[in-house]
Chains A and B, each alone.
Chain A
Amino acid sequence: MSKSREKVVGVVGLYDDPSSLLRAAEGVRDAGFTRWDCHTPFPVHGLDRAMGLKSSPLPTLALTAGLIGVLAAFVLTGGLNALHYPIRIAGKPMLSWQAFVPIYFEMFVLFSALTIMGSLFVFCGLGRWHSPLHDSGVMSEITGARFAIVLGADDRMYSQADAKTLLEATGCRDIRPLVQFEEEDDAII
Chain B
Amino acid sequence: MSVDTSSLAAPSLFVGDVTLRKLDDDIYRPLESFPTIRWWLAIAITGTLAAIFVLCAAYTVVRGIGVWGNNVPVAWAFDIVNFVFWIGIGHAGTLISAILFLFRQRWRTGIARFAEAMTVFAVICALQFPLLHTGRPWLAMFWLVPYPNGQGIYPNFRSPLEWDVFAVSTYGLVSAMFWFTGLLPDLATARDRAVHPFRKLVYGILSLGWKGSNRAWSHYEKAYLLFAGLSTPLVLSVHSIVSFDFAVSVIPGWHTTIFPPYFVAGAVFSGFAMVATLIIIMRKMFRLQHLVTDNHLELMNKIIIATSLMVGYAYAIELFIAWYGGVSYERYAFLNRALGPFAWAYWIMVTCNVLVPQLLWFKKVRRTVLLMYPIVLLVNVGMWFERFVIIVTSLHRDFLPSSWGDYKPTLIDFGLLVGSFGVFLTLMLLFCRFLPTIAATELKVILSESQSQGGGHE
B219 touches A123 (CB 8 A): yes
Any B CB within 8 A of the CB of A67 = no
Point out the residues of chain B lying under 8 angstroms from A120, CB to CB. 181, 219-220, 223
Instruction: Report the interface size for chain A: residues with CB under 8 A from the other chain.
Output: 67
Distance from A3 Cβ to chain B, minimum over Cβ atoms (Å):
15
Contact A110 B174 (CB under 8 A): yes
Task: Give chain A residues whose Cβ lies under 8 Å from the Cβ of B152.
Answer: 85
Is A133 at the interface (CB under 8 A from chain B)? yes
B221 and A89 contact, CB distance less than 8 A: no
Scan residues 312-327 of chain B and give those whose CB is less than 8 A from a CB of chain A.
Answer: none
A84 at interface, CB cutoff 8 A? yes
- Please give the distance in Å from A174's CB to the nearest CB on chain B: 16
Tell yes or no: A144 within 8 A of B by CB: yes
Residues of A with Cβ closer than 8 Å to B?
17-19, 37-49, 51, 53, 55-56, 58-59, 62, 76-77, 80-81, 84-85, 87, 89-90, 92, 96, 99-100, 102-103, 105-107, 109-110, 112-114, 116-117, 119-121, 123-129, 131, 133, 139-140, 142-145, 189
B146 and A76 contacting across the interface, CB-CB below 8 Å: yes
The answer to whether B222 has its CB under 8 Å from any CB of chain A is: yes
The answer on a CB contact under 8 Å between A89 and B158 is yes
Question: Looking across the interface, which residue of chain B has its beta carbon closest to that of A140?
Answer: B192
Nearest CB in chain A: distance from B353 CB, A:
28
**Residues of B close to A99: CB separation below 8 A:** 157-158
Besides A42-B445, A124-B215, 14 other A-B contacts (C-beta < 8 A): A19-B452, A46-B456, A53-B214, A58-B222, A59-B222, A76-B157, A84-B154, A87-B156, A96-B158, A102-B167, A107-B166, A142-B212, A144-B193, A145-B21
CA distance A47 to B216 in the complex (A): 12
Q: Tell me the minimal C-beta distance from B298 to chain A in angstroms.
A: 26
* Count, chain B residues at interface, CB 8 A: 64
- Give bound CA distance, A55 to B458, whole Å: 15
Partner of A109, one of B156, B174, B185, B216: B174
B241 CB contacts on chain A under 8 angstroms: 102
Residues of B within 8 A of A41 (CB): 20, 185, 189, 212, 441, 444
- Cα A58 to Cα B223 in complex, Å, equals 7
Contact mask for chain B residues 421-452; partner A; CB cutoff 8 A; 1 contact, 0 none? 00000000000000000000110110010001
Q: Given A117-B181, A142-B212, A143-B212, do A109 and B234 touch, yes or no (CB 8 Å)?
A: yes
| Shortest beta-carbon contacts, A-B, top 8 | A45-B457, A145-B20, A140-B192, A124-B216, A106-B166, A38-B214, A126-B208, A102-B163
Once the chains are docked, how many angstroms separate the CA of A124 from the CA of B210? 8
Question: Does B153 contact A87, Cβ atoms closer than 8 Å?
Answer: yes
